[in-house]
């Protein structure tokens, strides 16, 4: 097992190696995209965040990937200089990097976990007409049309118990 000094030394060596290079990440994203897709493809994008330690350094990466045959190919990412979750502004900025390069028309849907749904992001996605499928917490308040449910858990209980149903985005 390497000592803490050896880990620090390796980290500094890797840091010095990469500090001498400049990468055009937009060109890399464009190359990756067109390696797998065409302008006419309809794609699902996955938004996720991961964090871990590399030696003493805390790594917190927020990324937007395109889903392809059961895997997610990262196209855009942001290294966050903080611990914890992303803000709506950071989420919108990451999605906007994709839409500025490839457009909104190719997005079949944005997929994201419970960390991401917030009123600002949802309002922006609706305004931009970008479809989304966001996993939400059971305690989140839900409205459909003018009908408000206490929580998403209550809505799903009513749906799965057969007490209500949907038809073309309307409650029956």
* Residue 150 counted as domain residue: yes
Based on the domain organization, do 31 and 60 belong to the same domain? yes
* Residue 34 counted as domain residue: yes
Based on the domain organization, do 101 and 68 belong to the same domain? yes
Tell me the per-residue pLDDT of 9-22, one tens digit each, with 9 for 90 and over.
888 888 888 787 77
Strand pairing report for 107-112 and 43-54: parallel
Based on the domain organization, do 70 and 96 belong to the same domain? yes
Axis crossing angle, helix 25-36 with helix 88-102, rounded to the nearest 10: 60
Q: Can you name the residues that pair with 57 across neighbouring β-strands?
A: 54
**Euclidean distance between CA atoms 50 and 40, whole angstroms:** 30
**Euclidean distance between CA atoms 30 and 56, whole angstroms:** 33
What is the mean pLDDT of the segment spanning 86-111?
A: 95
Based on the domain organization, do 30 and 98 belong to the same domain? yes
Counted domains in the chain: 2
Tell me the per-residue pLDDT of 57-91, one tens digit each, with 9 for 90 and over.
888 899 999 999 999 999 999 988 887 889 999 99
Selected residue with higher pLDDT from 162 and 120: 120
pTM of the entire predicted model:
0.75
Based on the domain organization, do 120 and 142 belong to the same domain? no
Burial class (CB in 10 A: 0-12, 13-18, 19+), 107: buried
Parent domain of 31: 24-135
């Amino acid at each position: 097992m390497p000592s803490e000094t050896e880990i620090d030394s390796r980290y500094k060596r890797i840091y010095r190696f990469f500090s001498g290079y400049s990468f055009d990440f937009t060109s890399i994203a464009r190359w990756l995209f067109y390696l797998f897709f065409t302008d006419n493809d309809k794609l699902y994008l996955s938004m996720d965040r991961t964090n871990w330690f590399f030696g003493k350094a805390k790594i917190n990466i927020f990324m937007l990937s395109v889903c392809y045959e059961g895997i997610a190919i990262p196209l855009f990412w942001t290294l966050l200089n903080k611990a914890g979750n992303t803000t709506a502004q950071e989420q919108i900025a990451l999605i906007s990097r994709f839409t500025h390069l490839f457009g909104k028309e190719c997005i079949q849907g944005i997929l994201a976990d419970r960390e991401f749904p917030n009123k600002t992001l949802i309002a922006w996605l609706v305004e931009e007409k970008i479809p989304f499928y966001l996993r939400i917490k059971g305690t989140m308040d839900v409205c459909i049309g003018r009908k408000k449910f206490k929580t998403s858990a209550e809505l799903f209980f009513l749906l799965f118990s057969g007490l209500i149903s949907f038809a073309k985005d309307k409650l029956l």
